[in-house]
Amino acid sequence: MESFTTTVALIGIVILVASLLSGVLEKSGLPIVAVFLALGAVLGPYGLGFVDIGFESPALHALAMLALALVLFSDAVTIDVTEVRLRKPLLWRLLGPGTLVPAAIVAVSARLLLGVSWPASAILGAALASTDPVLLRSVLRFRAFPTLPRIALRMETGMNDVVLLPVVVLSILALGGTVSAAPGPGSVVARSIVGLFLLGPGLGALVGWFGIILLEQIRDRYTVRRDYESLYAIGLALSAFALAEGVGGSGFLAAFAAGIMVSSQDVELCDCFLEYGEATAEMLLLLTFVALGTSLIWTGLSVIDVPTIIFTAIALFARTAVLYPVLTSAHVTGRDRRLIALFGPRGLSSLLLTLLPVFAGVPGAEHLFSITCLVVLSSVIVHGGGITYYLRRNAIIEANKPRDVLPILEEALPAEKVPDRITIDEVRKLQAAGEEVILLDARADRNRRNSETQAAGSIRVHPHEPVQDAKALKLSQLATLVVYCA
């Protein structure tokens, strides 16, 4: 049984472990999902027996709902609308035939191999067509990863859930279930078609538009502290979700619409606005993985038989088989086509989508969830292992490249305390005194691209890997480095 103390302890453990292992896992390429599933198993009844979180758990219900809402919001906010416009033909192929055709193949396979009803098959097809942003996070952050696959996979993981979620919700309604954001019979509100497709997205877009305009006005007149601007992102996501849920709309689509509205308004946002929201969503996702890893996800092992093994193989590779000809028609070939088609892991998004019918009280939904668990566990091994191999292989290649650069920024740091901030007047005084001053532009890619101004003579370094860029540029150790990110 879980208690308040146990839940708090679980949250604390996840934050500590995620923080301490973040660098190690990123360098090693090991799938972070596997580590936190293992942590859940250690804490659960199969390990130390500290906690056992089941379907009836209020904590799991809240975690699942908030995690799905926040991941939809953060994925939408980080979508570069300019890139979407430029890559529109590729996006349509990824979200059209690249997402819906694999979903249909998986649904038909579920009907024929597993004998479930057509609405239940549609739930499995939609859930297992969703690619997981958590497993892909490490490869998308890897600088050596080619640009086109990076953009394509980010667009796909950021937008395919919003295509698949209506299929799941409509299938739940067809099976006689109801969708609720909070447990308890008094709070259950069935979604109508209007509420799903119009009310939720409309209210979400309104919250996103009004929220970002308000932030811009207050920031220009009175300034907003950076730490509070980062919290503002979470407030927008939760407000959009709650407002839509409160009037019978879809809170998930509202959260996504709010994020898209923020992204499309072309406002220069503090990097912390994007990064804090993304980090918070990721922490909730990892916490949900630990909660599911205590016992629920291992129910996937109990449904193993010949039909489910065949179904799992189809669910894992249908996307790859479909994307190869689809990408070829979009003139994406060679390495780029291979990387986009192969890197399609199933993870928490799939689990969260199949938890919705469980929470809605759909008969047989727990069996659907167990089948999804088997596919996700297989994907962690197959896709997670492939991602690990790719990152390690390319890291070795990068490490073996000859380097003739100065050992800057990591060595020979000055003993005296260096101030965190410097004013424009102080920079000008240093330049007037004959000091060597190097201006480094470390703005996020979208903010930099959308800005009409840039410091004269500044040098571009990527905000995630400034040390590597500085080494490659052979910047002087004796110069004063002035970094700006806004």
Give me the DSSP letters along 102-156.
Answer: HHHHHHHHIIIII---HHHHHHHHHHHTPPPHHHHHHHHH-TTS-HHHHHHHHHH
pLDDT for 4 equals: 64
pLDDT for 417 equals: 47
**DSSP, res 298:** G
pLDDT for 264 equals: 81
pLDDT for 467 equals: 66
Q: What percent of the chain has pLDDT over 90?
A: 19
> If you average pLDDT over residues 96-125, what whole number do you get?
95
270, 230 contact by CB (below 8 A):
yes
Per residue in 149-171, pLDDT (tens digit) is 888 888 888 778 888 888 988 88
pLDDT for 60 equals: 82
Q: Where is pLDDT greater, at 178 or 240?
A: 240
All residues at 6 or more sequence positions from 457 whose CB lies less than 8 Å from its CB, including other chains? 439
| Max mean pLDDT range (26-30, 246-250, 341-345, 464-468) | 341-345
As a whole number of angstroms, the distance between CA 326 and CA 329 comes to 5
Determine the length of the chain: 486
The answer, yes or no, to whether residue 412 has pLDDT greater than 50, is no
The answer, yes or no, to whether residue 307 has pLDDT greater than 90, is yes
The answer, yes or no, to whether residue 440 has pLDDT greater than 90, is no
Which two structure tokens, joined as six digits, stand for 198?
């119009």
Per residue in 455-468, pLDDT (tens digit) is 777 788 766 566 66
pLDDT for 464 equals: 58
> If you average pLDDT over residues 235-264, what whole number do you get?
85
Per residue in 207-217, pLDDT (tens digit) is 999 988 898 88
Q: What percent of the chain has pLDDT over 70?
A: 80
Q: Residue 413: pLDDT band by 50, 70, 90 thresholds? A: very low
pLDDT for 482 equals: 80
277, 336 contact by CB (below 8 A):
no
3-class secondary structure, 127: helix
Burial of 187 (0-12, 13-18, 19+ CB in 10 A): exposed
If phi > 0 it is left, if psi is from -120 to 50 it is alpha, else beta; for residue 443 that is: beta
Considering the entire predicted model, what is its pTM? Answer: 0.74
Per residue in 57-87, pLDDT (tens digit) is 887 888 888 887 887 887 788 777 777 777 8
Whole-number mean pLDDT of the chain? 79
- One-letter identity of residue 345: P
Which of 250-254, 328-332, 450-454 has the least mean pLDDT?
450-454
Cβ neighbour number for residue 49 with a 10 Å cutoff: 10
Which of 52-61, 281-290, 475-484 has the least mean pLDDT?
475-484
Per residue in 334-390, pLDDT (tens digit) is 888 999 998 888 888 898 889 889 988 888 999 999 999 999 999 999 988 888 888
pLDDT for 185 equals: 34
Q: Residue 309: pLDDT band by 50, 70, 90 thresholds? A: very high
